[in-house]
Amino acid sequence: MADAEYNPRDWDTQPAYLSPEYKSTILRSPGKPLIPLPQSLSEVTGPVFGHEALNPLDNDLTKNGIKTGGEPLGERIIVTGRVLDEKERPQANTLIEIWQCNAAGRYIHAADQHDAPLDPNFFGGGRCVTDENGVYKFTTVKPAAYPWGNHTNAWRPAHIHFSLFGPAFVTRLVTQCYFPGDPLLSLDPIFNATPKAHGNALVMDFSLDVTEEGFALGYKFDFVLRGRKATPMET
Amino acid sequence: MARRQTPSQTVGPFFAYGLTPEQYGFDQMTSLGSGAMAGADTDGTRIRLEGRVYDAEGAVVPDAMIEVWQADAQGRYAHPADGRGSNAGFSGFGRFGTGTDPENRFIFDTVKPGSVGAGQAPHLNLVVFMRGMPLHAYTRVYFPDEAEANATDPVLALVPADRRGTLIATAKPGSSGGYVFDIHLRGDRETVFFDV
């Protein structure tokens, strides 16, 4: 047994594997219960990424995909916040990767066949590593809603995909963050797969403090990863 | 506790340019992980781990992303929690989407991990992400040529005997160092997934 163990997954806040209104889960969810595995060195270690792995423009999606010399179309936004554990301890030096569609609702991915225009100056992928206070910051354009095939007239609410590592393989988190006040949220089976009491934990806050005068609107979002278990001394 | 864990959401179908850009032909960003895990200087026995992901109807999943995390050939992890020091140049992390191989395999060229101690048999830690999976799933890959170590592995011992085989790769016929680890989401051969 390793000396540092992490809190278990908080199943109250997590979506179920099988969430039938999100139809793809029916064929893609495990059928049998998960088997509990006590954490060992294999679980409390995980890949380490440093700032040196990144390029300077990786966290600026308004600049990292420019192909024709112009800027991407859309409403510029800043998304920033902290990566914490349950006790609000900052998670420094953790890699955050993001991807999103453009301001017209189209992903650059070849499999996206939605009939909305690509933007020659927008790639949609980015990443950064949190600083010593657990702070991250991205500059991008606001993604748009787009249709998908789950049911008749299904539209995904605008969202940004986030992937975080944290300090161990068990702290891995992949999620999506949404925009406040979006009428599509209550209609979205993916968003709704999250337990009702915790779905709003995925909605960013608009922030005038983060907003930059004459440049971009600001949004704040804090991520909470699994933290180290309290030792007897701390309880 | 002051804060609750952030809910997970599916990786969706369009992760490739953000997470595996080079594998999928996007030149705007470098990849931070790939299927080429072992470099020229990495110590250890070279292996290729490959497999496919099958849904509940037995269809091969073409848009899954697999991540692996493993110890080096001496059983050491490249992480501060492993105080033994790691094999320089080997990160132990791999990432591969199933959308580029004509057979929709994931393919990791790596080294065979050593035992990490505590009675554990050599294994890789593997995570499955895909559209239709709101929460990633953890499993482990063990080796068919480690029967003795597998027999006393404390994690395999937690698994009902009739399901242990789902965690053990098979030797790829006609290959040297090739192993196949297929992942079945449901059904008779459903892969064991762990709550870690």
Q: What is the pLDDT along chain B (196 residues), one digit of tens a residue?
A: 589 999 999 999 999 999 999 999 999 899 999 999 999 989 999 999 999 999 999 999 999 999 999 999 999 999 999 988 766 689 999 999 999 999 999 999 999 999 999 999 999 999 999 999 999 999 999 999 999 999 999 999 999 999 999 999 999 999 999 999 999 999 999 999 999 9
Residue A3: is its pLDDT beyond 70? no
Shortest Cα–Cα distance, B68 to chain A (Å): 10
**A169 vs B195: CB contact, 8 Å cut-off?**
no
- Report which of B127, B65, B143, B59 is spatially closest to residue B101, judged by C-alpha positions: B65
Q: What pLDDT sits at residue A50?
A: 82
Range A11-14, long-range pairs (CB < 8 A, 24+ positions):
A12/A195, A12/A197, A12/A198, A12/B4, A13/A194, A13/A195, A13/A198, A13/A201, A13/B4, A13/B5, A13/B6, A13/B7, A14/A194, A14/A195, A14/B5, A14/B7, A14/B8, A14/B134, A14/B135
CB of B123 closer than 8 Å to CB of B113: yes
Task: Sort residue A189 into left (φ over 0), alpha (ψ -120 to 50) or beta.
Answer: alpha
Task: Report whether pLDDT(A233) > 70.
Answer: no
Is the ipTM of this structure higher than 0.90?
yes
What residues 50-79 of chain B have any CB closer than 8 A to a CB of chain A? Answer: 55-57, 59, 61, 63, 67, 69, 71, 77-79
A71-75, A111-115, B141-145 — which is least confidently predicted?
A: A111-115
Closest CB to B14 among A17, A107, A123: A107
pLDDT for position A235: 40
If one compares B28 and A36, the residue with the highest pLDDT of the two is A36
**How many angstroms separate the CA atoms of B134 and A13, rounded?**
12
- Residue A5 above 60 pLDDT? yes
Q: Mind telling me how many Å the CA of B174 is from chain A's nearest CA?
A: 31
Of B17, B140, B158, the CB nearest to A109: B17
- Name every chain A residue with its beta carbon within 8 A of the beta carbon of B59: 27
Q: What percent of chain A has pLDDT over 70?
A: 96
Residue A231 has pLDDT above 80, yes or no: no
Residue A187 and residue A172 in contact, taking contact as beta carbons nearer than 8 Å: no
In the structure encoding, which two tokens stand for residue B40, read together? 């020229």
Residues 6+ apart with CB under 8 A from B82: A41, A45, B71, B76, B116
The per-residue pLDDT of chain A, averaged, comes to 94
pLDDT band of residue A51 (cuts 50, 70, 90) is confident
Of A100, A15, A225, residue with least CA distance to B12? A100
Residue A188 burial (CB count, 10 A): 23
Average pLDDT over every residue of A42-62: 92
Tokens (6 digits) for B177 = 């160092």
Q: Rounded to whole angstroms, how far apart are CA atoms B152 and B158?
A: 11
Query: Does residue A229 register a pLDDT over 80?
Result: yes
Q: Residue B156 has what DSSP assignment?
A: G
**What's the longest Cα–Cα distance across chain B?**
56
Tell me which of A82, A106, A127, A159 is the catalytic residue.
A159
- Cβ within 8 Å, pair B81-A41: yes
Residue A235, token pair as written in the block: 């309880």
Euclidean distance between CA atoms A93 and A153, whole angstroms: 41
**Partner-chain contact A17 B135, CB within 8 Å:** yes
Whether residues B6 and A173 touch (CB distance < 8 A) is answered with yes
Would you call B19 and A163 a contact, using CB atoms and an 8 Å cutoff? yes
pLDDT category at A234 given cuts 50, 70, 90 is very low
